[in-house]
Amino acid sequence: MFAHRKNPLDPDAATETPEAVFLNRRKWLAAAGLGLGAAGIGGYWGWRRWRGSDEEVIAGGEVETVPVQAAAGHREGTDETPRQSLHDAFPAPRDTRFSYGRAETDRADAARYTNFYEFSSLKSTWRYVDEFQPYPWTIQVGGLCRNALKFDLDEFHGTYSDELVERQYRHRCVERWAMAVPWTGIPLARLLRDADPLPAATHVRFVSFFRPDEASQQQYTEYPWPYEEGLTIDEAMNDLTLLTTGVYGRPLLKQHGAPIRLVVPWKYGFKSIKSIDRIELIDHEPATFWSTLSPDAYPFQSNVEPHVPRPWPQDEEWMLGTNEVFPTKLYNGYADQVAGLYRA
Ligand SMILES: Nc1nc2c(c(=O)[nH]1)N[C@H]1C(S)=C(S)[C@@H](COP(=O)(O)O)O[C@H]1N2
Ligand SMILES: [Mo]
């Protein structure tokens, strides 16, 4: 059992995690090359084993599904909500308007290095998600709207089966790692329109699950569970904001936030809340998990801004898997789509 790390608010802890150093394969190889000899080889072997094979990392996060009644879906002329079983929803057609502008991150590399504090403050959360049962799963949309919604994953996939798309997005964590991955989902705006917001709704609040029996860190830490996030209504309605149930053309792995998560590619990764339990239309800026813990480091807006330290310098980022370094762009390169939201 690995010790769960100390205070994640300590900037040093979050940037140079022991694990990040540990995972830096090039350093290990270099160290071996420098003549640490047998010790180096032994260390490398241990590192290989501890790191987990690609197969282990992926299998560790795969969601077990129970066969649902009639994946065939909706019976015409009934009020029954259409249903589609999880695996039949994938793959979805690619939305060709989006491309990474760099190499796609390897699927196992993305699955190996994840942030999911409900399970661990280490990055290898795939090791800690065994007990998590994200299927079946019910999600609710409510608050200041005319048509509150409640549906399970199969109803979601049945209702939006013609609208699911795959989009290639860049992702940027405030800790400065980045990835380029294909998400499957629908624009959040599509769902919100179905909920029919009242004019008083100015913000949207997202709340993750609270299941201390399945997510050990919800038992042991003082964090303000459940994880919560928020957007202004205009940010939530922006076409880039994607509500996703898949990645790499398959259902989300547990460590990526199965069964349903948000992806907000122009903001730091912590805004992209995982494993959503409910969505609420509200008339004020909501508190969020990270802004509650550290308002200065993680303010509500938290757009990717290379010139604003948060709290580390943010002008560069490195890619999972390859360690390739890129200059960080304003709004993570999505300024064309979102700059209008922030003009005075
Ligand atoms: N519920 C929940 N959502 C979360 C987090 C978390 O700890 N809990 N971590 C966030 C952070 S800091 C990042 S960078 C992204 C990481 O997404 P990934 O692990 O799928 O790459 O998820 C975000 N969503
Ligand atoms: Mo992050």
Closest residue by CA, ligand 1 atom 19: 114
Our answer on whether the CB atom of 271 is closer than 6 Å to any ligand 1 atom is: no
Our answer on whether the CB atom of 227 is closer than 6 Å to any ligand 1 atom is: yes
CA distance 149 to 156: 11
Our answer on whether the CB atom of 118 is closer than 6 Å to any ligand 1 atom is: yes
Q: Which residues of the chain have pLDDT under 50?
A: 1-23, 71-72
**How far is ligand 1, taken at its centre, from the CA of residue 274, in Å?**
6
First to last CA, the chain: 51
Cα-based angle 179, 242, 341 (whole degrees, multiple of 5): 95
Name the residue among 337, 293, 117 with its Cα closest to residue 209.
117
Q: Which domains does the chain have, with CATH numbers?
A: 52-342 (3.90.420.10)
Q: Which atom of ligand 1 is nearest to the CA of 114?
A: 19
Our answer on whether the CB atom of 137 is closer than 6 Å to any ligand 1 atom is: no
Residue matched to tokens 């509650």: 292
**How far is ligand 1, taken at its centre, from the CA of residue 340, in Å?**
26
Our answer on whether the CB atom of 209 is closer than 6 Å to any ligand 1 atom is: no
**How far is ligand 1, taken at its centre, from the CA of residue 199, in Å?**
31
H or E stretch including 94?
none
H or E stretch including 50?
helix 37-51
Our answer on whether the CB atom of 273 is closer than 6 Å to any ligand 1 atom is: yes
Our answer on whether the CB atom of 208 is closer than 6 Å to any ligand 1 atom is: yes
Helix (H), strand (E) counts: the chain: 12, 12
Dihedral of alpha carbons 86, 88, 91, 96, sign: negative
Spatial contact of 173 and 268, defined as CB atoms under 8 Å apart: yes
Question: Tokens at residue 43, please?
Answer: 């260390």
Where b means 16+ CB within 10 Å and e means fewer, 101-122 reads eeeebbbbbbbbbbbbbbbbbb
Kindly list the protein residues that place their beta carbon closer than 5 angstroms to ligand 2, a single-atom ion: 115, 173, 269-270
Residue 39 has what pLDDT? 77
CA separation, residue 265 to residues 92, 146, 178 (Å): 19, 29, 11
Closest residue by CA, ligand 1 atom 20: 256
Our answer on whether the CB atom of 119 is closer than 6 Å to any ligand 1 atom is: no
Pocket test residue of 15, 242, 274 for ligand 1, highest count of atoms within 8 A of CB: 274
CA distance 71 to 87: 10
**How far is ligand 1, taken at its centre, from the CA of residue 342, in Å?**
24
Pocket test residue of 261, 270, 273 for ligand 1, highest count of atoms within 8 A of CB: 270
From the CA of 174, which ligand is nearest? 2
The pLDDT tens digits for 70-94 are: 544 556 677 778 999 888 999 999 9
Where b means 16+ CB within 10 Å and e means fewer, 309-324 reads ebeeebeebebbbeee
